[in-house]
Amino acid sequence: MEFPKDLKYTKEHEWLKVEGNIATVGITDYAQDSLGDVVYVELPQEGGAVTKNEPFGVVESVKAVSDLYSPVSGSVSEVNDAIIDSPEAINEDPYGDAWMIKVEIANPGELDDLMTADEYQKYVEEEK
């Protein structure tokens, strides 16, 4: 299981990569592994608002339907339409091509609440 060091993590198993004031958001390797084969993804529209800790979309697998929670508040600047057409990419490359949305961060202070890779790895091990 991968825990890339350059990412931040949530307790709901989303990751984000911050570049300037843009956060790229996806689900973690642990999340996709727990879900099993992903068959459907619902994402917000570009330009829509997301709120920290509130659902922004849905991921459905053969095992379960799960809400996706935004790690930060802001405006959706880009949506990865490719995973809507090919949701299985989430299982294949959760930290790469299968990112979900990019958010223009409204409050950079919200990043302080997120976990580092080491903290998230410990959290996952405790949750098992």
Percent of the chain at pLDDT > 70 equals 100
Q: What percent of the chain has pLDDT over 90?
A: 98
User: How far apart (Å, rounded) are the C-alpha atoms in residues 45 and 58?
Assistant: 13
The predicted model scores a pTM of 0.95
Q: Is residue 126 part of a domain?
A: no
Provide the CATH number for the domain around residue 32: 2.40.50.100
113: in domain: no
48 in any annotated domain: yes
Judged against a pLDDT cut of 90, whether residue 128 lies above it is answered with: no
Residue 117 forms part of a structural domain: no
Work out the widest C-alpha separation in the chain, in whole angstroms: 37
Task: Give the model confidence (pLDDT) of 7-23 as tens digits.
Answer: 999 999 999 999 999 99
Report the number of distinct structural domains present in the chain: 1
Q: Would 1 be classed as within a structural domain?
A: no
What residues make up the domain containing 46? 8-108
